[in-house]
Structures are given as structure tokens and as C-alpha cells.
Amino acid sequence: MSTSDPRHYDVILSPVITEKATMGSEFNKVTFKVARNATKPQIKEAVEKLFDVKVKNVNTLIRRGKVKMFKNKVGQQSDVKRAVVTLEEGHRIDVTTGL
């Protein structure tokens, strides 16, 4: 791993480990939870520097927070921005090992 700017850790918050995100790994895609104000170029740079890979494409989406009930109390989950990062052929990220 190369030396990275600490600001990259403010852009990439955590990997998303879901069934849908795991299926994307077959197509060289990795899903991350990112900061709400992060742009696609910032996400691309952060992933390339932190994981030493070449990024082909970045798609972002905002998952709106759901309304949940707990013991008759209504709560609202926070909105979350996710980035689906497509890697170049031959590059891989194993999100289960961590940084």
C-alpha cells in the first residue's frame, strides 16, 4: 500500500457487506459507504490511493432513511450515500481483510 492522505479516510467510511454488494464482486464491483458531500472524483482518488487499484467507474446513490418502530416509538434512520466502484480488469479488493 502506498502512503495515503488522511483525508481519504474521511471520504470512504466503510465497505457495504450485503448480499447484493457481494454479488457485484463477480463483476469486479465493490460497494462503499461514503461521506454525503463526497464527489465521484474524490471517491475514485480515495479508492485508488487506499487500496492500490485502478478504478474504471464510480456510481453513487443515496439510500433514504427508513422509518422504523421500536417499542411503540417511531424513529428515522439516517440517509446514507453509497458508491459502487467498478475496478479495471485484474484488480481486486478483499473487503473482508480490512486496511
Domain residue spans of the chain? 8-87
From 68, 94, 79, select the one nearest 37 (Cα to Cα): 79
3-state secondary structure of 74: strand
Q: How confident is the model at residue 7 (pLDDT cuts 50, 70, 90)?
A: confident
pLDDT tops 60 at residue 88: yes
CATH number belonging to domain 8-87: 3.30.70.330
Q: Which residues lie across from 82 on neighbouring strands?
A: 33, 61
Q: Is the pLDDT score of 1 beyond 50? A: no
Dist. CA 46–CA 52, nearest whole Å: 10
- Bigger pLDDT: 3 or 37? 37
Coil, helix or strand at residue 84: strand
Mean pLDDT of the region 5-33: 91
pLDDT tens digit string along 38-69?
A: 999 999 999 999 999 999 999 999 999 999 99
Q: What are phi and psi of 36, to 5 degrees?
A: -65, -30
How far is the C-alpha of 92 from the C-alpha of 72, rounded, in Å?
45
Give the pLDDT mean for 29-45: 95
Q: Is the pLDDT of residue 4 over 70?
A: no
Dist. CA 15–CA 33, nearest whole Å: 6
